[in-house]
Amino acid sequence: MSLETTKHESKAAAQTKETLRKVPTLSLKDYTHGSEEQKNQFILGLFNGIKDYGFIILKDHPVRAELINRAYEILEAFYKLPTEAKKKYVSPAGGGQKGYTPFGKEHAKDASVMDLKEFYHVGRETADEKNIWPTEMPEFKLIFSQLYNDLEKAGMIMMEALTGPLQVEKDFFTKKVTGGVSILRLLHYPPIPEGVDPRCLRAAPHEDINFITLLPAATASGLQLKDRNGEWLDVVSENNTLIVDAGDMLARMTNDLIPSTTHQVVNTEEGRMKSRYSMPFFMHPRPEASLACLPSCRGDKEKYPAITAGEFLTQRLIEIGLLPKQ
């Protein structure tokens, strides 16, 4: 092998590595309104993206830019309320699945310190559990109910697009998530207080619990994913795009063919003096839905025992400090 050939191969390898460290961007219109070829390319890009990178960035989706922008304005106004006013909206049911969760309450699984955040949950209402709406802000209910619905629709399209590669019926995931307990989390990472434990991050390294997460581009930087080589990669997205990643429930059902992606929100220098707002939508199935391994993903061995989505969610809420240990 010549020296020139070696140089050429080294350059190609470096270019490949650089390409692999850029989160793919896909257009949802290719799937919903494109040709058969465009649709197939989207399906392949989505499957390979969340399998090989853990995240994809989605453009041309149905969530309106003006709705996202107004939602962030309302979110900022809510978090300017006094702490005691916000605490009126903590759910008496516990578990943090509806209403307000105060600063420093949640921690990552197995973490010894709390995250530097507070958040508000909007979810699907049931006979037993209703959403909690701030009385000071009448528009809060209107805007976040609409955002929840729009993100859920986009999420259902994404889940449908995964059915081909996973060799299940086209409505397989739709049946599981229709009437599910998906959550819209309205996050505030306040300026970092002086004297805070240096081990605390805005969000310590963690994996999401659910099937997939859809995240409108946040108001500031700080989000990082751990790529499949174990290196941290900044996730940079343009305004009005959605960041999509895979969670533990999808990893479990696919026997880790689609692994859950570790990510974090770091304490940037800019962030020490400035609030950061974020609105992830966690797509969950119905509590009774089975998370059994898909036949196409079994291989030689199933890694996880059978469990329902509700049982798994309860287990994880205990692990992150939102439910008491049983």
307-317 per-position pLDDT tens digit? 999 999 999 98
Query: Strand pairing of 55-59 and 25-27?
Result: parallel
Residue 121 lies in a domain: yes
Residue 8 lies in a domain: no
Residue 55: strand pairing partners: 245
Residue 233 lies in a domain: yes
Query: How crowded is residue 240: how many other Cβ atoms within 10 Å of its Cβ?
Result: 16
Mean predicted confidence (pLDDT) in 240-260: 95
The whole domain housing 205 covers: 23-319
Q: Whole-model pTM? A: 0.88
pLDDT for residue 113: 76
Residue 144 lies in a domain: yes
Model pLDDT for residues 102-143, shown as the tens digit of each residue: 987 776 777 767 778 899 999 998 888 899 999 999 999 999
Residue 10 lies in a domain: no
Residue 11 lies in a domain: no
What are the phi and psi torsion angles at 69 (to 5°)? -65, -45
Residue 4 lies in a domain: no
pLDDT for residue 1: 42
Is 50 exceeded by the pLDDT of residue 7?
Answer: no
* CATH assignment of the domain containing 143: 2.60.120.330
Rounding to the nearest 10 degrees, give the CA dihedral for residues 215, 216, 220, 221: 50
Total count of domains within the chain: 1
SS3 25: strand
Q: What is the phi-psi region of residue 240: left when phi exceeds 0, alpha when psi lies from -120 to 50, beta otherwise? A: left
Residue 268 lies in a domain: yes
